[in-house]
Amino acid sequence: LRRVQVDRMGKALGVEEQVPPVAGDHLVTSIDARVQAVTEKALAHAMKNAPGADGGAAVVLDARSGRVVSVASAPGYDPEIWAGGISAKGYQWLLSDKSGKPLVSRAINGQFAPGSTFKVSSVSAMLRAGYPLNGTYDCPGAYMVGDRSFSNFRGIGLGQMNLHTALVKSCDTIFYRAAYEQYLKDGGRNPKKRTKEVFANTARAFGFGRPTGVDLPGESSGRIPDRAWKKDLWNRTSATSCERSRKGYPEEKDRARAEFLKRLALENCTEGFLLRPGDSANFAIGQGDVLVTPMQLARAYMALVSDGKVRSPRIGWAQVRPDGKVVKTIDVPVVGKLPISDKERNYIKNALSQVPSDGTAAGAFTGFPMDKVRIGGKTGTAEVWGKKDTSWFASFAPTNNPQFVVVVMVSQGGMGASTAAPAAREIYEGIYGFKGEPAAVPGGRLPTKLPKFAPDGTVIHQ
């Protein structure tokens, strides 16, 4: 502060008061610059190798602590645009469709159907509903849900299997059946006064449907579509749906799509407040109206493969004075607990540990040194009307004692095994130094304690 006396002409007469500046505290984060670089590079490669991809995100969490190791979103932009103040035109460009909306972080703001990565929640819901952990289940090529047939991937039947194999091979029909049976138990189209909605409530216990609370602004909540959500949506949109059911969509050039939208509008107008049988089936495989953010999915997998506790991820680690004194340590809060036992959690974790070697991600990890670091995970391929599939891979490593959780999502990236899984592999190769480059995390272990600081505030490297 500098207060100056001036005369009526504005000429300085003297300094009345002067307060010297005080240096602010340093914010120490858990972001690892080397892992961040690896993550951004892998995501850029995934976007380049998937023609038509229009956005992507990658999140790396410390599985032991819940701290954020790296977070990337694509497309990106040069942050120098903010230097000296941004113009209105420049700001609008960051939010425009033409630029790909780089200002929107797909990691925490992007909401996408998670596809089969969501099945960890659905298996847990089945267990809560009483389906046996070690039971045998039929995986036909298709299953009738109400009056509609829901197919497996490419309509292929896989025969009898347990839940372990259902995750490894990503059978859909087992989940269709279980979700539909629970839908009927709740009363179907004529719901009971008190419904259990076990699939939706289990998903919420995994942290879906609400912000993770990560210490970044503007996080999205995702969406868990239950009966209450359907009613609320209908109350807000029924007038528009009814009008569209009469007028149609004359502005839509694709006549087949226009006719489909008109039929859908009529359906939403007359019974949009009802949770339909197909809604329950789509929910179980992470499709339909289910939406999650990459950060939500990462923290759900972190809880699953660590200690069963749902945490609110943190980037900030500590506040340190310029003289090196730690003012405050920022803890990672526990905000919930998975609704399954440790035995059930380990069963699911062990199944996921087989996916990159013998399951849907085996092709993406061919030649990866699993004898050195074994990767576990789940692929996801989510269908989107009028667009290419959303590609997902949610993973952790090493499987015996997870240190990292890595989630990659590429919008319009195609199959999870073809785009997101190879990007995750590249991140692991960078972390452990499997491609001839120095390991981003030497020894594969992140620090568990804050570094020591010298009196001038610099880090004392040990």
Tally of structural domains, the chain: 2
pLDDT digits (tens, 9 = 90+) for 391-443: 999 999 999 999 999 999 999 999 999 999 999 999 999 999 999 899 999 99
Percent of the chain with pLDDT over 90: 90
Distance, in Å, from the CA atom of 281 to the CA atom of 228, rounded to the nearest integer, reads: 17
Distance CA 59, CA 113 (A): 17
Pair 146, 278: CB distance under 8 Å: yes
At 256-290, the pLDDT tens digits run: 989 999 999 999 999 999 999 999 999 999 999 99
pLDDT at 457 over 80: no
Region for residue 290 given its phi and psi (left: phi exceeds 0; alpha: psi -120 to 50; beta: otherwise):
beta
Answer for the pair 208, 224: CB distance below 8 angstroms, yes or no.
yes
Residue at which a domain ends, from 218, 253, 284: 284
The letter for the amino acid at 160 is: Q
Amino acid at 60: V
Chain centroid, CA 171 distance in Å: 21
- Please say whether the beta carbons of 117 and 384 come within 8 A: no
- In 145-275, alpha helices (H): 163-168, 173-185, 198-205, 227-247, 255-271
Tokens of 28: 């120490």
CB count, 10 Å around CB of 270?
13
Q: Which of 44, 30, 75, 107 is nearest to 451 (CA)?
A: 30
| 3-state SS assignment for residue 154 | helix
Is the pLDDT confidence value at 462 over 70?
no
Give 200's contacts (C-beta < 8 A, 6+ positions apart). 224, 225, 226, 283
Q: What is the mean pLDDT of the chain?
A: 95
Q: Quick check: is 96 in a domain?
A: no
In a domain, 95, yes or no: no
Q: Tell me: do 270 and 352 sit in the same domain.
A: no
376 in helix, strand or coil? strand
- Alpha helices, DSSP H only, in 360-452? 420-432
Report if residue 20 sits inside a domain: no
Residues 444, 431 share a domain: yes
Query: 451: buried, middle or exposed (CB in 10 Å: 19+, 13-18, 0-12)?
Result: middle
Alpha helices (runs of H) in 9-87, residue ranges in sequence order: 33-48
Residue 392 and residue 449 in one domain: yes
Does pLDDT of 120 surpass 90?
Answer: yes
Domain that holds residue 336: 26-76+101-113+293-453
**CA distance linking residue 163 with residue 340, whole number of Å:** 15
Residue 163 lies in a domain: yes
- Residue 459: per-residue pLDDT: 78
Domain of 328: which CATH number?
Answer: 3.40.710.10
Same domain, 150 and 33: no
Asked if pLDDT for residue 23 goes beyond 90, the answer is no
Q: What is the DSSP letter of 274?
A: S
Same domain as 415, residue 342: yes
Q: What does each C-alpha distance from 139 to 117, 130, 143, 344, 352 come to in angstroms?
A: 18, 19, 9, 21, 18
Tens of pLDDT, residue by residue over 335-360, are 999 999 999 999 999 999 999 999 99
Domain match, 339 and 269 both: no
We report the CATH number of the domain holding residue 126 as 3.40.710
Q: Please tell me whether residues 307 and 343 are part of one structural domain.
A: yes
Write down the residue that tokens 């089945």 correspond to. Answer: 126
pLDDT band for position 461 (cuts 50, 70, 90): low
Residues 191 and 57 in one domain: no
- Single out the residue in 239, 267, 284 at which a domain terminates: 284
Both 105 and 121 in a single domain?
A: no
Q: How far is CA 209 from CA 111, 119, 197, 212, in A?
A: 11, 16, 14, 9
Task: Clarify whether residues 175 and 235 are in a common domain.
Answer: yes
pLDDT at 456: 76
Give yes or no: residues 257 and 238 share one domain.
yes
Contact 318, 330 (CB under 8 A): yes
What value does the mean pLDDT take over residues 152-178? 96
- Looking at per-residue confidence, does 451 or 240 come out higher? 240
Phi-psi region of 322 (alpha: psi -120 to 50; beta: other; left: phi over 0): alpha
357 in a domain, yes or no?
Answer: yes
Write b or e for each residue in 97-129: b if 16 or more Cβ atoms lie within 10 A of its Cβ, otherwise e.
eeebbbbbbbbbbbbbbbbbbbbbbbbbbbbbb
Residue 293 in this model has a pLDDT that exceeds 90: yes
* Rounded Cα–Cα distance for residues 428 and 439 (Å): 10
Instruction: Examine the pLDDT at 331 and tell me if it is beyond 60.
Output: yes
Residue 186 lies in a domain: yes
Rg of the Cα atoms in the chain: 25
Residue 412 lies in a domain: yes
Q: Is the pLDDT of residue 94 over 70?
A: yes
- The answer on 140 and 232 residing in a single domain is yes
The amino acid that residue 106 corresponds to is R
Measured distance CA(409)–CA(106) in Å, rounded: 9
Q: Given its phi and psi angles, is residue 66 left (phi above 0), alpha (psi -120 to 50 degrees) or beta?
A: left
Domain boundary among 284, 301, 330: 284
Could you say which DSSP state residue 130 is in?
Answer: T
pTM comes to: 0.93
Does the residue 17 lie in any domain?
Answer: no
**What SS3 state is found at 277?**
helix
